[in-house]
Amino acid sequence: MQQDRFYVLVGFLGAGALCLLLLGSVFFYTEHKRAQAQTFVMFFNGSLKGLVINSPVTYLGVKIGEVNFIELTEDKKRNKVRIPIYVRFFVNRNYSFSQDPVHLLINDGYVANISKPNLLTGVAEIELIPSDSPRQFKQTYYQDYPIFPTYNKVEPYTSMEDVFETAKKTLEDISELVRSKEIKNTLESLQKMSGSLDILVSSLNQNVPGVVTSLNQSLKQITAAAYSTQNLTDYLSRYPESLLRGKQ
């Protein structure tokens, strides 16, 4: 009888241990999944153009999350429409549970900012950037989701309309410059300079033949003098006594 009680006790202990093991497995699995993908909510005051489901969330140029859900809600306190952006972060956290990486970024003063939409795809991304004026952040929640701080300033993006408008303005400026008085005076000066160059060239064409003729005559005279000097040198080398008695 006592032996039967022992087996029953062992069975209860084994069942309890198995239950604890299952509960622990479920707990750690839940924590692991929660740590791998954490959802935050972001609210932006500016334009949300370019944000779509699966828009990337980047930190230092690396994708660390994506937009998971976008909805339209009502802000009852301010009687306004709000658009919460649900963002899912890809978090790798160990089981020491010291600090959450996303909360570390928040504590370091990082805020979310919407980038300019891509000109080709039209898709914008959410960048985590250092805040201009970092301050102590107090965690708040929306629908049980933690709220991630945002920059709430969207830089104006360059649309195709802006590109064409800029090109049009540039062409108008060029056209105005071409028609300006300064350009007209410059062209007139160039025309006058061109006329002066034509006169100079004509004058050179008229004077050059005479100059060339004079140079030819001078060269002939120099050549004749050199020839005479060479003959005299040859004669003196053969008859040096002629310097004393003269040429016979």
Joined tokens for residue 77: 């306190």
Q: Are 132 and 109 in contact (CB under 8 A)?
A: no
> 145-146 and 141-142 as β-strands: parallel, antiparallel, unpaired?
antiparallel
- Which residue pairs, CB below 8 angstroms and at least 24 apart, start in 128-137? 128/57, 128/58, 128/59, 128/64, 134/108, 134/109, 135/109, 137/106, 137/107
Whether the model clears a pTM of 0.95, i.e. scores above it, the answer is: no
pLDDT of residue 126: 94
Cα distances (angstroms) measured from residue 232 to each of 242, 244, 247: 11, 15, 11
Q: What digits encode the pLDDT tens for the residues 46-96?
A: 889 999 999 999 999 999 999 999 999 887 777 888 899 999 998 765 555
**CB atoms closer than 10 angstroms to residue 41:** 18
Band of residue 32 on the pLDDT scale cut at 50, 70, 90: very low
The single-letter code of the amino acid at 127 is: E
- Tell me the domain boundaries of the chain: 32-155, 181-245
Element at 122 (helix H, strand E): none
Q: What digits encode the pLDDT tens for the residues 180-231?
A: 677 767 777 777 776 776 676 676 666 666 666 676 677 777 777 666 666 6
Token pair 């622990």 is found at: 24
